[in-house]
Chains A and B, each alone.
Chain A
């Protein structure tokens, strides 16, 4: 029997603590759309996406009403486009990006991810052409997201790709300088990318996935913060327990919504990504959870330990709530999308080096960080390499989504609006890594990659 306390708790979580389903993401394989004629390939891509995802938004809206829970985004992820581009070597891959945008518009989804290439060991046909077309593709589309995997624990780090991605990020910022440098906000550079990630901008549909499936990404930093704040004097073990219980409840809701969407769309249920994804809304901040644990401001000493505890407890609580856990699963720390992180960065408490340390214990990496517009491509590449090294050695996914703010200096703010928020331009180390980056080649995989 339902009890009043439980009912009111759920309603409070949704109304006051910003609990929501961040996204239902439909993963669609485009492997059957490969064609040497790019026009034919694009037509197949458009038809497949708009057929499979025709009812995605409608079903999402129906579930929102049925359960009274907001589903903030409906998204699509597709097979890395580099695989399709490989079949048409003479064509411009941007045509695929435009097709994806058209399909996203038809399906009315918020984002479509998969303008991607996986080059962690080297470039195959199509990869280089696709990567070089990324700035153009992101400039000409609004909802298409791009990602490139440049390293993995098994294969090491492709330093040629890291060097190239520094240039691509910079170029992408420059050609979208008139639009808050929005280009690189839709571009993620990964190490150990996952194939079933429902979150943008890094979502793509891996080749090991089924033809079509539904993933769910939950979000509830506000709920966790409010639960933690109820125990101001509890020990750390008790805090871990509180977070686990809260994460369980949040994830159960994700499981319910995912299962329902999968039934309604007649598509297999992929995974629930148990993530704490912040938004710029008041009370929906991961930094505030850490501060709720007793740090004066996020970024001070103790932040990495608090984040490690949070990330682990979220997984432990969530893993029992869903039979199919996947994606990135953990706490996200995007700076511009999190009011607590923004405040800490503006105050100077949170710096790039601390964020880098935090990425060793959270679910992703350096995310939505605004850097000075005069940053060099080599410095960007070096930041990418550092972050990939953390991912490679620690057997975890790391990502880099940096936005060079063209024309802005340290301390100024870059405003995106919406879910992307706004970010202060953060100071970077100005000493040059250019020689190291220019060497190229591959960082060998670590010893523990040899597991068999």
Chain B
């Protein structure tokens, strides 16, 4: 089972560190990261493995949303099924 975490917002020091820190805390393994910084806008898409997740997915999602609020970033955690079902036949 995999999930997609997207982070969009103003670039600051340590965004990747904080997001992956939360992942590690929930025993979620980061599989792939693509990120780009355009002028001072930071955009990252992270594919993570949630099969070994400690606790439930909504706890991870809540923590990411809280981080997003504090840092002024838009962070979304979504199960990969939604993308697969929408964009694959």
Contacts and interface: CB of A to CB of B under 8 A. Distances in A.
A68 B79 CA distance: 8
Contacts of B45: 4, 7-8
Interface string B53-87: 00011100110000000000010111111111111
A66 B58 CA distance: 6
Given A65-B62, A67-B81, A68-B77, A252 B34 contact: no
A65 B6 contact: no
Contact of B76 (A2, A68, A249, A253): A68
A69 interface: yes
Nearest to B43: A8
B87 A68 contact: no
A7 B87 CA distance: 9
A65 B59 CA distance: 9
Interface in A45-85: 62, 65-69
Contact of A256 (B34, B56, B76, B81): B81
Contacts of B84: 2
B83 A10 contact: yes
A65 B87 contact: no
Given A4-B34, A253-B86, A68 B47 contact: no
B34 A67 contact: no
Contacts of A394: none
A255 B78 CA distance: 16
Interface residues of A, number: 21
Contacts of A255: 85
Nearest to B8: A11
A382 B42 CA distance: 60
A67 B61 CA distance: 10
B41 to A, nearest CB: 13
A324 interface: no
Contacts of A106: none
Given A11-B6, A66-B58, A253-B86, A2 B47 contact: yes
A256 B78 CA distance: 13
B76 A67 contact: no
Contacts of B79: 66-68
A309 B44 CA distance: 39
Given A15-B74, A65-B62, A256 B87 contact: no
Interface in A1-55: 2, 4, 6-11, 15
B85 A68 contact: no
A67 B6 CA distance: 13
A62 B82 contact: no
A2 B86 CA distance: 11
B61 A68 contact: yes
A6 B86 contact: yes
Contacts of A9: 87
13 contacts: A2-B4, A2-B83, A2-B87, A10-B86, A11-B6, A15-B74, A66-B58, A68-B76, A69-B82, A252-B85, A256-B82, A256-B85, A260-B81
Interface of A: 2, 4, 6-11, 15, 62, 65-69, 249, 252-253, 255-256, 260
